[in-house]
Amino acid sequence: MFTADLIVMYHGVVPDDEPLDDWLQVPASRFRDQLAFFTRWFTPVCVETFFTTPRKAWQKPRLLVTFDDGYANNLTVAAPILQEYRVPALFFLATGYLETPWFWWDRLQASLATVGQKPSPALIAEIKALAPPDVEAKVTAILRDRGANPFPPPTPALRPLTWREAQQLASLPGFAIGNHGHCHEIFAHLDDTALTHTLTLSQRLLTERLGVQPTWIAPPNGDWRRDQIDRFAQLGFQAIFTTQPGWVTRRQRASSPVPRVFPRIGIGTTDRPFDLAKRLLKTRLRQTVPTGEGR
């Protein structure tokens, strides 16, 4: 059962005194508890080791920690804790949001909160289906319709990284950068021209600004299509990180062709170590091969 390894997916880690209602933004003390659990039962490794070095028979299951989106709190809050626990990590950045005050979903949530509302999952899904130029306009229109302030003061804990901060993150030992598209477009909704555009633009920015050329990609929301795999391969990607929950089995690791498709288990605020252990075990017992169909 434990011949499999594990890839976990985080989004953000926030100070304990930050009043946020977001499962994806884990308070720092809970994050510490989770890392204490992981380092006890797993061997945390960096992404290169995860893919290039076979696991020794006597080793504990290996763990690869990933973060999606590119929140500044990955550097300011999560990174020092990761370093304290000696846990390497891979950060998937949506390059178009760097240097901006908000990801659109956080702006929507914060604005609607000013009029006592929350965005419904249906509304979020509707916006995600739009082409990138229409997303901000749609969000602004919804907020005006509902009488919410379309430009509330940003929440510092949820701002995206600046490029300078991304450089700092990329330069820390054991930390690596991956591609999460440019405008966080949902790949499943893109034609080949639009997909190629977002991937080449984000790769170019990551190369020019950070000096890296990621071979790892996490399609935003985990939504992509099997017919897009040739394009990923052509652009040099070797591994696709999905949001399909599961452990990484030996068979998946050895599967061909490249790029290989890997499951990830999302971790959030409610994951106390005991509940987390139960969830991981349950996932392993129900394991299926990922098909590749979150944020």
Residue 27: asked if its preceding bond is cis (omega within 30°), the reply is no
Among 55, 62, 128, 295, binds Zn ion (CB under 5 A): 295
What is the DSSP code (8-state) at residue 61? P
Task: Rule CB under 5 A: say whether 68 interacts with Zn ion.
Answer: yes
Q: Cα separations (Å) of 154 from 95, 102, 135, 253, 276?
A: 19, 7, 18, 41, 32
Handedness of CA 197, 198, 203, 204 (dihedral sign): positive
For residue 127, the minimal CB distance to Zn ion (Å) is 14
Task: Rule CB under 5 A: say whether 69 interacts with Zn ion.
Answer: yes
Q: Which is nearer to Zn ion, 5 or 69 (CB)?
A: 69
Task: Rule CB under 5 A: say whether 128 interacts with Zn ion.
Answer: no
| Beta strand segments in the chain, E | 6-10, 12-14, 25-27, 43-44, 62-69, 89-93, 175-179, 216-217, 239-241, 260-262, 265-266
For residue 295, the minimal CB distance to Zn ion (Å) is 4
Q: Cα separations (Å) of 1 from 5, 42, 288?
A: 10, 14, 13
Among 160, 178, 220, 266, binds Zn ion (CB under 5 A): 220
Task: Rule CB under 5 A: say whether 106 interacts with Zn ion.
Answer: no
Handedness of CA 148, 149, 150, 155 (dihedral sign): negative
For residue 265, the minimal CB distance to Zn ion (Å) is 15
Stretch that binds Zn ion, among 113-121, 137-145, 215-223, 253-261 (CB under 5 A): 215-223
Task: Rule CB under 5 A: say whether 22 interacts with Zn ion.
Answer: no
Q: Which is nearer to Zn ion, 107 or 295 (CB)?
A: 295
Stretch that binds Zn ion, among 61-69, 76-84, 226-234, 273-281 (CB under 5 A): 61-69
Distance CA 209, CA 216 (A): 17
Total chain residues near Zn ion (CB under 5 A): 4
Q: Which is nearer to Zn ion, 4 or 90 (CB)?
A: 90
For Zn ion, the binding residues (CB under 5 A) are: 68-69, 220, 295
